[in-house]
């Protein structure tokens, strides 16, 4: 591989994925045309006038590669992950034109946008991008000091959905649990949330697609803790759990009834009923300094709810603990009307 001198020097022992990104960026740089270079020179000369100005530029992969390699001396260390995120946005058709693009110092060097430029080069597609000129070197400290925008921030603009922050948490918690329970990559795929800005898009899509279920789940979660000083799950956790069950086809009435039983912490059936054992184990686990993750506790509760719906009257503690420790299969789908439980042999 003909590495571009210096630009990737800080990357030690790159993974195969990072090597592939470096190779693609190098290839884009090598393939840049004289026309690409001429257009870049126009941008550099405009920057060197020192005039505060802006323009919308059609940035070709070759132009982007030249800027990334040759005019990138005043940026932070290059991140392959960030570059890959931008590249994926472009190739998947998710790239959006915004005021954010490339920025130039009076010296002609880029002050901002190295990862966007690298993303264009990586994607191999021409992109329209805003370019700003006239920035002084000392102003670099003011760039990227803001808070990273979340999916909930976007959804809160114009009140697209109610309570977007809570719904963002609910989606992430439910999806994390369903990925944990999935028996294969194919089964987990619908609940996969990408990293970075692409992940925000995934969460926005999920919230918009399931907004009615999320609203119902929040109401169920709130009602499940009403009048209870020590419910098994707090209101937000209960809402996330209710959303997971509704998403997997559980009837609303069954979710309300079973969750009410679970939140009470009482054994209403006598003996060692699944819901009571799960609530007891989860409450005990919550007292530990390093207890199980929320996804693990959700898995234990799901196991108990399913057993209860299958007509199982008593379970061993180990069955619930195994579900919490990923030692037993847990299917979050609402059980059928004639499901035979493999351990108990009971037909419901």
Question: Where in the chain are the domains?
Answer: 16-142, 151-324
First to last CA, the chain: 63
What's the pLDDT at 290? 80
What's the pLDDT at 322? 95
Q: Residues 309, 313, 317, 322: is their CA dihedral positive or negative?
A: negative
Q: Using an 8 Å Cβ cutoff, are 22 and 3 in contact? A: yes
Please state, in angstroms and rounded to a whole number, the distance separating the CA atoms of residues 135 and 304: 61
Is residue 130 within a helix (H) or strand (E), and if so which, with residue range?
strand 127-135
Q: What is the mean pLDDT of the chain?
A: 89
* Structural tokens at position 326: 């990923």
DSSP state of 138: G
In DSSP notation, 31-90 reads: T--HHHHHHHHHHHHHHHT---EEEEEEE-HHHHHHHHHHS-TTSPPP-HHHHHHHHHHH
Q: Using an 8 Å Cβ cutoff, are 58 and 131 in contact? A: no
Please state, in angstroms and rounded to a whole number, the distance separating the CA atoms of residues 322 and 310: 19
pLDDT tens track, the chain, 348 positions: 444 546 777 777 889 999 999 999 999 999 999 999 999 999 999 999 999 999 999 999 999 999 999 998 876 678 899 999 999 999 988 888 999 999 999 999 998 899 999 999 999 999 999 999 999 987 776 666 555 667 777 777 666 788 999 999 999 999 999 999 999 999 999 999 988 777 888 999 999 999 999 999 999 999 999 999 999 999 999 999 999 999 999 999 999 999 999 999 888 777 799 999 999 999 999 888 788 899 999 999 999 999 999 999 999 999 999 999 988 889 999 997 434 344 444 443
Please state, in angstroms and rounded to a whole number, the distance separating the CA atoms of residues 169 and 286: 19
What's the pLDDT at 4? 56
What's the pLDDT at 346? 45
What's the pLDDT at 341? 42
Q: 97 by DSSP, 3-state: which?
A: coil
What's the pLDDT at 277? 96
Instruction: Tell me the per-residue pLDDT of 43-97, one tens digit each, with 9 for 90 and over.
Output: 999 999 999 999 999 999 999 999 999 998 876 678 899 999 999 999 988 888 9
- Determine if the pTM surpasses 0.85: no
């Amino acid at each position: 591989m003909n590495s571009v001198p210096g630009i990737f020097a800080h990357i030690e022992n790159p993974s195969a994925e990072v090597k592939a990104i470096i190779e693609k960026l190098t290839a884009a740089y090598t393939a840049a045309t004289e026309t690409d270079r001429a257009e870049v020179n126009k941008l550099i000369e405009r920057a060197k006038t020192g005039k505060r100005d802006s323009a919308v530029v059609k940035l070709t992969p070759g132009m982007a590669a030249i800027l990334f390699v040759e005019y990138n001396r005043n940026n932070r260390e290059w991140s392959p992950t960030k570059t890959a995120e931008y590249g994926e946005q472009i190739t998947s058709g998710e790239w959006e034109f915004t005021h954010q693009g490339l920025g130039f110092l009076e010296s002609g060097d880029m002050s901002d946008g190295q990862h966007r430029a690298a993303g264009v080069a990586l994607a191999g597609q021409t992109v329209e991008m805003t370019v700003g000129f006239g920035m002084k070197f000392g102003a670099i400290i003011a760039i990227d000091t803001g808070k990273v925008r979340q999916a909930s921030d976007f959804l809160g603009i114009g009140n697209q959905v109610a309570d977007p922050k809570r719904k963002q948490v609910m989606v992430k918690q439910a999806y994390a649990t369903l990925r944990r329970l999935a028996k294969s990559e194919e089964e987990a795929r619908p609940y996969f949330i990408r990293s970075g800005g692409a992940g925000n898009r995934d969460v926005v899509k999920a919230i918009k697609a399931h907004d009615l279920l999320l609203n119902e789940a929040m109401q169920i979660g709130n009602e499940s803790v009403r009048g209870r000083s020590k419910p098994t799950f707090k209101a937000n956790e209960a809402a996330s759990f209710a959303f997971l069950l509704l998403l997997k086809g559980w009837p609303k009435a069954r979710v309300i009834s079973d969750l009410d039983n679970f939140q009470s912490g009482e054994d209403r059936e006598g003996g060692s009923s699944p819901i009571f054992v799960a609530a007891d184990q989860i409450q005990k686990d919550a007292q530990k300094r390093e207890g199980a993750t929320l996804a693990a506790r959700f898995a234990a509760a799901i196991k108990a709810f399913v057993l209860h719906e299958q007509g199982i009257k008593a379970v061993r503690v180990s069955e619930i603990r195994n579900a919490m420790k990923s030692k037993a299969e847990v299917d979050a789908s609402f059980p059928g009307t004639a499901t035979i439980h493999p351990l108990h042999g009971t037909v419901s």
